[in-house]
Structure 1
């Protein structure tokens, strides 16, 4: 099942130079894991890293593309309680990667705990600076302002300790940080040539659509999904300029990715469970200093991967 998630590919079947994988809730978000004990998070993150590196390189071998230079290695890992971000790079590009760094920010309980937050990794790749941020934002259909605030809080908190050169500013020592400060030696998420924002952003369908209708449209196929787009909270908030301003996203040409019965492709409606309206909680967006330098080749969900009550998404650029 993992291979179906990892094999997102463009129309020419090219292998990606960089693979960034984001997870949420790799451990239970209970009080012990959030406040007291970080060991389960570190152990689970290490286990996922090993499994995914093996799966990536086995996928290459199965496709006949397993020459040593085309295999992947882990470049960097960052985790925060249940949030995990892994960045892999092909070995034939390793000598052209520098300035890698990572940071995390908790924005959950009391605005600081790691039950919600972000993990980010940045690097310079052949002279262009990239940043990946995996986020898990506030839950519940009505809590749009909480999600918007979490996004802004992650932006303001995550700063990297060293300056990455970029094709945009010539590698000067001065930068504009994510909080808008000029002259700092630190680097914010938005201070990169390319930014990719991914994760369980938790935006739902507006409650002006009845829950029964959301279920009906979600289960009805592509023509029905289109009727939900106008009611998607993330689309609405982006149009208003309240969140992810300047970011782009591909069309949502897949069924809402939440909430399923784990182990199935059936939305969760069992009477003993909390009823949640289906939604596109799981998203991948990007922002580029020069938009023409990014082309989205694929953006989809992976229904066959049923380990969770979410369906994972993948994108290929």
Structure 2
């Protein structure tokens, strides 16, 4: 998984995402049999924040989408190669904006028309080489104004993925606008569930601002509801992605609705937690960073402190078998071994407030800059300035110039939740990209997916159904009575149920649940053999008359019982 706040910008031409999303080739451990072959991950989930500018038009009227396509194309080039990306994303086409900035379109008609061909491709019946089709396929995408989550699955793993759903929770202005909030995707890998959350929480580095972020987390956990959001699959930017997503099986989620209901979740994003200002000064933080000392900064990290105090990410029981890393309330974060991810001069590796390399002046400490490090300009849309992460810009104060100096902090994070210890973190890294004032982060996980033995499960279900049917049958009263034997002419016989020489003392009634009833029959033979002859003549050719019949006792909802009565 990866997270990147891109400050409302598309990727620069020729941007290489390998330092962020390609670390499994060089840095991260490979896991044989992980689903993609060659040590590649089976699932790649990429979250963006501020993927479009957080202005009034995008927040209130509807969100632009051209940056989404540009970043999807960059991901595709990293995963499948430039040639494949160029074929799938031939031109930048702006999709119409949507109210409240939510993507909620269904697959296009063209995509649905091609679905039959894709199904053959997914199950391995296509003659087209796998490499030509690309190693990865996008199966889900969800946008909430500037927050965007794009999920890709390897073609080798694709037949075993089902139940893809998405939803979003807005926590921005008034608690319901989408300048802040989260987008969520869940899917089933074999028979194991996985929830992915990409969040952008409230900004601010003043003491007490962390409480607003805590409240954002609580709202996302409380209001995220996949069942309520079930509906059309969101539109995907690449035609092949729309086809692949539409072809996946629906899966079964039962009553699992929220983030932690499934027991397995990854939470990534610009969580905006800073350093506690009373715990470490800006000057001391920079001094420790120049000396390569991270521990003094980590001790002042707001998120670590809030989790330790149980004020955030503490809604579920802790997993006693969890591995290393910060672990509170079932949520945990791996050890942070990289420098803070915010705030940089865009295009450099220099924190805002530090002098640029080769510069002897201190102008970097006082220059007035915008989000991208360029001179600040204001417009009528700046009234919503608090939607971005420039903390000192207050809503409603048009023309306020933000202070450019920010104490370096780990705003960009990855946490995970695993109630059954099925999810294990393999690596946690900062990507050295310079397209934004943030550095991206990425993490590698191993999901120990479960797969049920379908034949055994079906046999157990059949046995359970039979047991239930038997219990239900025993719990019902049984009505019984004698019925006439079937006619040899295959017509309804309304004759007597018993011959005249056979009488049922108890021949009909109700058996109570779990009870029994004794039947009593009388054979009417009086006067010896002559008497019997008077009741029933001997069969043709028979030397001796005999009494012989089969009485049919019918038990409603229980079948027929056959009683043979014979006398000579």
Interval of TM-score (by shorter of Structure 1 and Structure 2): 0.7 to 0.9
CA distance 1:194–1:290, change in 2 (3 Å):
same
Pick from 253, 266, 278 the counterpart of residue 196 of structure 1: 266
- Correspondence for 1:314: 442
The root-mean-square deviation of aligned C-alpha atoms, in Å, is 2.2
Q: Does 1:4 align with 2:19?
A: yes
Instruction: Note the C-alpha offset of 1:119.
Output: 0.5
**Following the alignment from structure 1 to structure 2, what is the Cα–Cα distance between the partners of residues 51 and 172?**
33
Pick from 320, 337, 347 the counterpart of residue 263 of structure 1: 347
Asked whether the 8 Å contact 1:219–1:255 carries over to 2, the reply is: no
Listed as ranges, the matches of 1:106-185 within 5 Å are 106-142=170-206, 143-161=209-227, 173-175=254-256
Pick from 410, 421, 427 the counterpart of residue 280 of structure 1: 410
Asked whether the 8 Å contact 1:265–1:306 carries over to 2, the reply is: yes
- Correspondence for 1:178: none
**Following the alignment from structure 2 to structure 1, what is the Cα–Cα distance between the partners of residues 30 and 58?**
43
Instruction: Note the C-alpha offset of 1:172.
Output: 7.4
Q: Does 1:218 align with 2:289?
A: yes
Q: Does 1:240 align with 2:293?
A: no
Q: Which consecutive aligned stretches of 4+ in structure 1 deviate over 6 angstroms post-superposition?
A: none
- Correspondence for 2:141: 77
Total equivalences in the alignment? 290
- For residue 284 of structure 1, give the secondary structure of its aligned residue in structure 2: strand
**Following the alignment from structure 2 to structure 1, what is the Cα–Cα distance between the partners of residues 228 and 216?**
24
List runs of 5+ in structure 1 lacking aligned partners: 165-170, 176-186
- For residue 156 of structure 2, give the secondary structure of its aligned residue in structure 1: helix
**Following the alignment from structure 1 to structure 2, what is the Cα–Cα distance between the partners of residues 254 and 4?**
14
Asked whether the 8 Å contact 2:285–2:408 carries over to 1, the reply is: yes
Pick from 20, 26, 31 the counterpart of residue 56 of structure 2: 31
**Following the alignment from structure 2 to structure 1, what is the Cα–Cα distance between the partners of residues 78 and 266?**
23
Structure having the higher Rg: 2
- Correspondence for 1:184: none
- For residue 161 of structure 1, give the secondary structure of its aligned residue in structure 2: helix
Listed as ranges, the matches of 1:43-122 within 5 Å are 43-58=66-81, 67=131, 71-122=135-186
**Following the alignment from structure 2 to structure 1, what is the Cα–Cα distance between the partners of residues 165 and 301?**
34
- For residue 237 of structure 1, give the secondary structure of its aligned residue in structure 2: helix
**Following the alignment from structure 1 to structure 2, what is the Cα–Cα distance between the partners of residues 103 and 22?**
14
Pick from 431, 437, 450 the counterpart of residue 302 of structure 1: 431
Asked whether the 8 Å contact 1:68–1:91 carries over to 2, the reply is: no
CA distance 1:37–1:173, change in 2 (3 Å):
closer
CA distance 1:172–1:23, change in 2 (3 Å):
closer
Asked whether the 8 Å contact 2:274–2:302 carries over to 1, the reply is: yes
Asked whether the 8 Å contact 2:167–2:229 carries over to 1, the reply is: no
Instruction: Note the C-alpha offset of 1:53.
Output: 1.6
**Following the alignment from structure 2 to structure 1, what is the Cα–Cα distance between the partners of residues 46 and 136?**
13
Instruction: Note the C-alpha offset of 1:48.
Output: 1.8
Instruction: Note the C-alpha offset of 1:220.
Output: 2.6
TM-score with structure 1 setting the length: 0.86
Instruction: Note the C-alpha offset of 1:50.
Output: 2.6
